[in-house]
Amino acid sequence: EPEVTQTPSHQVTQMGQEVILRCVPISNHLYFYWYRQILGQKVEFLVSFYNNEISEKSEIFDDQFSVERPDGSNFTLKIRSTKLEDSAMYFCASSVGRDTQYFGPGTRLTVL
Amino acid sequence: GDSVTQMEGPVTLSEEAFLTINCTYTATGYPSLFWYVQYPGEGLQLLLKATKADDKGSNKGFEATYRKETTSFHLEKGSVQVSDSAVYFCALSFGSGNTGKLIFGQGTTLQVKP
């Protein structure tokens, strides 16, 4: 059964460094999403991406964040200058239409 | 704004007990409703969904009915197993005309003891 994959599973970085989180969505899906979950808190929407552009972003998704689909298969989330409060689990999801989303296993980001 | 509220956890049950996890929502319009489950160390998996009022979603013995009049989508299972121990998330989204982003509740941890 096709699944969403994410790499790395765990990323440790120093505050102020750039990180790129990678996702490979399910191949025939058209809508792509990033969510994050700070330890002990809700899963929060960050951004949605369709037709090679951002379709919606939350107030969390400020200028430090960007997304890209560089080669038609990968979907990346970049954080330019990480802060301590960016430490969280980041989930990628994809869907065929704007309905059922399939999630990857997540990347745990730890900012020191 | 749109939101989802779940009962506080953890919920601790003995095997074969009846499970209810309450979920209520606030939304301007008629969202689709979902239950996702997160097993330890894994990502979110769709458990069941309902797209309109009075629909019942079901999967693996779990059920939930979309109740517009009470804005609720409570998760139930008649007889839980140890393997059901996980975190359960209720969520809503608006499909048509929107991006389909999911709005999640805070999650409810279920622990089932043998």
Residues in chain A within 8 Å Cβ distance of B96:
98
Contact check, Cβ <8 Å, B43/A50? no
- Is A50's pLDDT higher than 80? yes
Give the tens place of pLDDT for each residue, B27-44.
988 899 999 999 987 889
Q: Which residue of B has its CA nearest to A47?
A: B101
Contact check, Cβ <8 Å, B43/A106? yes
Q: What percent of chain B has pLDDT over 70?
A: 96
Given the DSSP bridges, would you call strands B11-14 and B108-113 parallel, antiparallel or unpaired?
parallel
The pLDDT assigned to B96 comes to 57
Q: Classify B51 as helix, strand or coil.
A: coil
Chain A, 39 to 68: residues with Cβ < 8 Å from chain B are: 41-45, 48, 50, 55-56
Q: Nearest 10 degrees: CA dihedral of A93, B48, B41, B107?
A: 100
Q: Which residue of B has its CA nearest to A42?
A: B106
Give the tens place of pLDDT for each residue, A30-44.
999 999 999 888 899
Of A48, A97, A104, the CB nearest to B43: A104
The pLDDT assigned to B47 comes to 96
Tell me the Ramachandran region of residue B97: left when phi exceeds 0, alpha when psi lies from -120 to 50, beta otherwise.
Answer: left
Average pLDDT, chain B: 92
Of B44, B103, B105, the CB nearest to A103: B44
Q: Which residue has the tokens 């979902």?
A: B34
